[in-house]
Amino acid sequence: MKFTALALQMEHIVKDTLHDYWSRHKQMHTPFYGDTMTRDRFLNVLQFLHFADNSQRPDPIGEYDRLWKIRTVFDTLNQAYLKFYNPSEHLTVDEIIVKFQGRVIFRQYIPNKRKPFGIKIYKLCDKSGYTCDFKVYLDSDSRSATDDMTATHATLRHLTCRVEGLGHKLFMDNFFSSPRLFDDFLRRKIHSCGTVRPNRKDMPSDFKPKKLKLTKGNIHGEI
């Protein structure tokens, strides 16, 4: 428990290296960490921290869970999110990148993110920023796609399954928005709103951009 508390606290006091949290230099000294646990003890726990029995590794053939070693951690968190907090009326869904420089097959590169390299996570949050649910992108989500549902659609279904029928309002960007998704949410009593891509499948013709022939120096104000 002390190890977990220190790991969470480190997000509030960001230093260059782990060793700096136990530094005794006057300009860097933070006695809380040393008073709670010695540096060597913390590093020792970090090195051998484990959440699964390696002898119980699942068969890599078929429906292999690439997060099986820490799956219990994610499941515990997601169960606790809704157990201890009722999300507000307005929710949002988005993708984030958790910085990670290790070697995993599902590491992503998204250039427009502040941390372009890392592990992509889909999150459902309410207007206060509280995380209601999340799912790690494992580069195998395409298996959940069907003829009537894209992989992204299936991911959002998974994220919102515990809030459907309650009248929440869900906001999203054009990465997720689609007519089929909005129709599906409406049937499940989830009101949705988001920016759209005019070339998205099943988009009404009124949304399709009009081709304009402009001469040099001319502008057009219609949106």
d(CA 88, CA 169): 9
pLDDT class for 22, splitting at 50, 70, 90? Answer: very high
Mean predicted confidence (pLDDT) in 14-33: 93
Full domain range(s) for residue 27: 2-48
pLDDT class for 209, splitting at 50, 70, 90? Answer: low
Q: Give yes or no for residue 220 having a pLDDT over 70.
A: no
Strands, E assignment, the chain: 90-99, 107-109, 117-126, 131-136, 169-172, 191-194
Do residues 126 and 174 both lie within one domain? Answer: yes
Do residues 10 and 95 both lie within one domain? Answer: no
d(CA 99, CA 217): 45
d(CA 223, CA 220): 9
Helices 151-160, 179-187: inter-axial angle, 10-degree rounding: 30
β-strands 117-126, 169-172 pairing: unpaired
Q: Which amino acid is at 54?
A: N
Q: What is the pLDDT of residue 20?
A: 95
Q: Give yes or no for residue 87 having a pLDDT over 50.
A: yes
Do residues 42 and 75 both lie within one domain? Answer: no
Residue 198 lies in a domain: yes
Q: What is the pLDDT of residue 107?
A: 87
Residue 208 lies in a domain: no
Q: Give yes or no for residue 214 having a pLDDT over 80.
A: no
- For residue 171, give the nearest of 91, 96, 87 by alpha carbon: 91
Residue 61 lies in a domain: no
- For residue 171, give the nearest of 184, 183, 182, 157 by alpha carbon: 182
What CATH number does residue 176 fall under? 3.30.420
Residue 211 lies in a domain: no
Do residues 191 and 90 both lie within one domain? Answer: yes
Q: Which amino acid is at 53?
A: D
Span 111-154, pLDDT tens digits: 877 778 899 999 999 999 999 999 998 876 666 667 678 888 99
**Torsion 155-80-71-37 (CA) sign:** positive
Span 43-61, pLDDT tens digits: 999 999 999 888 888 887 7
Q: What is the pLDDT of residue 123?
A: 94
pLDDT class for 223, splitting at 50, 70, 90? Answer: very low
Residue 185 lies in a domain: yes
Residues 6+ positions from 199 with CB-CB distance below 8 Å: 208
Residue 32 lies in a domain: yes
pLDDT class for 202, splitting at 50, 70, 90? Answer: confident
